[in-house]
Amino acid sequence: MANIERHKAGDFCWMDLATTDQSAAKKFYGDIFGWTAKDSPMGENQFYSMFSIGGREVGAGYTLAEHQRAMGMGPHWMPYVATESADATVKRAEELGAKIIAPAFDVFDAGRMAMFEDPTGGKLCVWEAKSHVGSRITGVDGTLCAADLITPDQDAASAFYEKLFGWRIMKEDEEAAHRYYHIFNGEQFIGGMQPADWWGGAPAHWQIYLQVANCEASAAKAKELGARIYMPAMKVEDVGWMAVMADPQGATFAIFQAARKAAASDK
């Protein structure tokens, strides 16, 4: 376990859930990950639910507005990347071919954020911290441990994000069947890129990974609580176990059990 006082620029620093049933979502994730939720007003009859573990924030959730639903937006998780300047980052993103969804704006005194759609279609937020640093704990069950971009063009996405955030993106051997690209911020692995055809040509999107101690047990519990399992717990040699699912409202996410924990649980 490690407490976080500030995120390094280029790291995934936050995640929030857009849902159609905030109360049900709070119960679902609380039952699986032990999150507690604290509601803060964010408009008329709207609340931003801050999810915490041991009093330290890990993410949040809110209810999709009617105009968002009318635009066809469904439940989803959104990761945020830390930046020193939301304005400069979103300007650079536009120069590199991104579509700006929300120009940089202040979120009270918490920070400044922006949202864009990368040239391959993946939507992402950036966060310039002020009073709110983002997630404040890592390395325990229920915390964000990585994020993957599902994209129809891994090479175009790689070129874009390498220039935008300075990420180092390592491609697998051209002969490798899985075609997974690894994303590093400096020397730290933070996620990857998967080809969209793995998921039947799904639209480009970012997928969060939440750490768990036992992937099979957590996936089974999620299913009991109404989740739809897209990929049952699967062992990735020398890496760990993972599973992909959608919560009862339809927001997709993945869970991950590191290899060292897998080894311990197999004894």
Could you list the pLDDT tens digit for every one of the 267 residues in the chain? 589 999 999 999 999 999 999 999 999 999 999 999 999 988 778 899 999 999 999 999 999 988 888 888 899 999 999 999 999 999 999 999 999 999 999 999 999 999 999 999 999 999 999 999 999 999 999 999 999 999 999 999 999 999 999 999 998 655 555 689 999 999 999 999 999 999 999 999 999 999 999 999 999 999 999 999 999 999 988 899 999 999 999 999 999 999 874 444 443
Cα(14)–Cα(179) distance, rounded to whole angstroms? Answer: 27
CATH number of 2-129: 3.10.180.10
Cα(50)–Cα(16) distance, rounded to whole angstroms? Answer: 9
Which of 151, 163, 160, 115 has the alpha carbon at shortest distance from 14? 115
Say if 2-129 and 138-266 have the same CATH topology.
yes
Q: Which CATH class is domain 138-266?
A: alpha beta
pLDDT of residue 267: 37
Show me where the domains of the chain are located. 2-129, 138-266
pTM of structure: 0.94
Letter for the amino acid at 130? K
Q: 36: which DSSP letter?
A: E
CA dihedral 215, 221, 226, 228 (to 10 degrees): 20
pLDDT of residue 174: 53
Which of 10, 45, 50, 9 has the alpha carbon at shortest distance from 26? 50
pLDDT of residue 265: 45
